[in-house]
């Protein structure tokens, strides 16, 4: 099985910029970016990242806002915060060298078992297994796993460790990921071209399209949010920086909050701004509506123009507040949904009608 997979990989493996390079830092960056994100999405970010932060020292020396701006739009922003913190630890504690030891590297922020296996096998050709989404699917079909992968992670880890080629772990792990990404796909797997077809229990039972099993899912929670674009007399807009925790920690946003049952959008915005920033505003006309899907929930941002009436903005529920011009707002890292608000603001200032946005695919 190892020989067949490696032979297939030699003929059909993908050419990717983080493969076959002697740069553990660049490989680490790629592994972090590839967490829960497709290769085609990562590629342009990876190239720009290495141009801006070519070494672990340059990343460690950058300020967090610069790092988050470089990550803007890639999603799962904790990865960027973890990369930055880990770079600082690597420079301070490991002489700027990516650790080769499993326990040492998994002690760094954001590096779990499969990311560590990816880094150690790819960067140093060390025999550590991986278990990303593609590998789970391949292995679940290989043994016709009778439960969803999430319920059999220990078994799948043992299987991944068992099939790993101890002599060529770098190529083997990359081959296993490519097999899942290109042939053993979620829908319509290309079993006729698979090097493991003869060994695949799902194929032999003709149940490959039914596996891996999935957990039943209910409808995504849908949050309705009132959002304020607050203008002052100098035609500046008030933005705030989120606390470091959570999905979008450290990013800037237009302030607002969840609409309570029975509450109008306008009442919600006025209340939230008083609670979060301690100021009085007049809520004006609607600017736009943005519906954005994350992996576990949807959010609709109901955005209104507002006018600052009184009070000095205070960072009561955030890390920082700032008045900025529309021209300067580009300098700040925002979540993807908020970028649509900026586009709508530019259209409004240009005398064009802002466009409402609905993103139906989960954001990555």
Structure tokens at 50: 């290495």
Active-site residue, from 31, 72, 272, 276: 31
**Residue of 91, 82, 26 whose CA lies nearest to 57:** 91
How many CA atoms lie less than 13 Å away from 277 in the CB half-sphere? 29
Evaluate whether 84 touches 62 at the Cβ level (below 8 Å): yes
**Residue of 179, 134, 172, 160 whose CA lies nearest to 38:** 134
Give the relative orientation of helices 169-178 and 113-124 as an angle to the nearest 10 degrees: 120
* Catalytic residue list contains 263: no
Is the alpha carbon torsion for 65, 71, 75, 80 positive or negative? Answer: negative
- The CA-atom distances, in angstroms, between 111 and each of 35, 171, 223, 251 are 10, 21, 31, 22
Peptide bond into 212 cis (omega under 30): yes
Evaluate whether 288 touches 357 at the Cβ level (below 8 Å): yes
- The CA-atom distances, in angstroms, between 5 and each of 171, 197, 206, 359 are 10, 11, 21, 38
Catalytic residue ranges = 31
């Amino acid at each position: 099985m190892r020989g067949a997979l490696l032979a297939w990989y030699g003929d059909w493996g993908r050419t990717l910029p983080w493969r076959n390079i002697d740069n553990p830092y660049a490989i680490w960056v790629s592994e972090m970016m590839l967490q829960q994100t497709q290769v085609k999405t990562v590629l342009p970010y990876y190239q720009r990242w290495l141009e801006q932060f070519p070494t672990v020292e340059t990343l460690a020396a950058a300020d967090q806002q610069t790092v988050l701006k470089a990550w803007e739009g890639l999603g799962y922003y904790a990865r960027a915060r973890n990369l930055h913190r880990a770079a600082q630890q690597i420079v301070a504690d490991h002489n700027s060298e990516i650790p080769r030891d499993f326990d040492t590297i998994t002690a760094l922020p954001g590096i779990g078992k499969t990311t560590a296996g990816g880094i150690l096998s790819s960067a140093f050709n060390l025999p550590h297994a991986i278990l990303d989404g593609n590998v789970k699917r391949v292995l679940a079909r290989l043994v016709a796993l009778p439960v969803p992968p999430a319920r059999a992670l220990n078994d799948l880890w043992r299987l991944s460790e068992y099939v790993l080629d101890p002599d060529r772990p770098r190529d083997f792990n990359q081959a296993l990921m490519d097999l899942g990404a290109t042939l053993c796909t979620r829908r319509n797997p290309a079993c006729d071209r698979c090097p493991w077809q003869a060994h695949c229990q799902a194929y032999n039972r003709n149940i490959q399209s039914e596996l891996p099993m999935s957990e039943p899912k209910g409808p995504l929670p849908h949050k309705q949010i009132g959002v304020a674009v607050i203008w002052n007399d100098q035609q500046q807009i008030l933005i705030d920086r989120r606390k470091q925790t959570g999905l979008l920690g450290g990013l800037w946003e237009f302030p607002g909050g969840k609409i309570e049952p029975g509450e109008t959008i306008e009442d919600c915005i006025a209340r939230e701004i008083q609670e979060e920033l301690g100021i009085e505003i007049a809520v004006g006309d609607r600017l736009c509506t943005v519906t954005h899907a994350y992996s576990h929930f949807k959010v609709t941002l109901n955005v209104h123009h507002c006018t600052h009436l009184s009070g000095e903005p205070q960072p009561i529920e955030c890390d920082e507040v700032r008045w900025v011009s529309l021209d300067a707002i580009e300098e700040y890292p925002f979540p993807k949904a908020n970028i649509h608000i900026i586009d709508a603001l530019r259209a409004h200032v240009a005398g064009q009608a802002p466009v409402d946005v609905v993103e139906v695919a989960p954001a990555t």
